[in-house]
Amino acid sequence: MKILQNVIVNQVLTESSKSQLLENYKSKRLQLQKESEQLRFELKKLEKTRNLQPASLRAHFEKEINQRQEKIKLLEFQMEQLEILPAGSELKEREVQSIIDVEIGADWDEIMATKTIVIKDGIVSEIR
């Protein structure tokens, strides 16, 4: 019988992966800042036309802008934490699913033990 099992994928932090993660965080932050500015612009544009109810319209736009601002704060925190981490640290990158064969007589505890794949600079370096 085959079952699905979650497998954790960890990334070993190296100088190149650290700089790549920082660039990724910066580009996400820039995108969120652009979206916030675009929403502010759209709000002002719609307020001038006054075809819609300004209070509900403003509340909706402010909610969207605030969500993006919170994501920006989270990204900035992640960037700060990334700067602190030394090379060689492992970061949880994601979870994937794996198909596991289960047979009569198999050790259930061993089958259900959490499996981990360790990646270093884009190459699988270890499977635990």
Give the tens place of pLDDT for each residue, 79-122: 999 999 898 889 998 999 999 999 999 899 888 888 999 999 88
With 0-12 CB in 10 A as exposed, 13-18 as middle and 19+ as buried, what is 109? exposed
Q: For the chain, what is the domain count? A: 1
pTM value is: 0.73
Contact 85, 12 (CB under 8 A): no
Q: Whole domain around residue 15: which residue ranges?
A: 2-127
Long-range (24+ apart) CB contacts under 8 A made by 107-112 are: 111/5, 112/5
- Count of alpha carbons within 13 Å of 29, Cβ hemisphere only? 14
Give DSSP secondary structure letters for 34-48: HHHHHHHHHHHHHHH
Q: Report d(CA 115, CA 100) in Å as an integer.
A: 11
Residue of 60 and 37 predicted with greater confidence: 37
What pLDDT, on the 0 to 100 scale, is given for residue 55? 75
Q: How many residues appear in the chain?
A: 128
Q: Report d(CA 89, CA 47) in Å as an integer.
A: 50
Residue of 109 and 53 predicted with greater confidence: 109
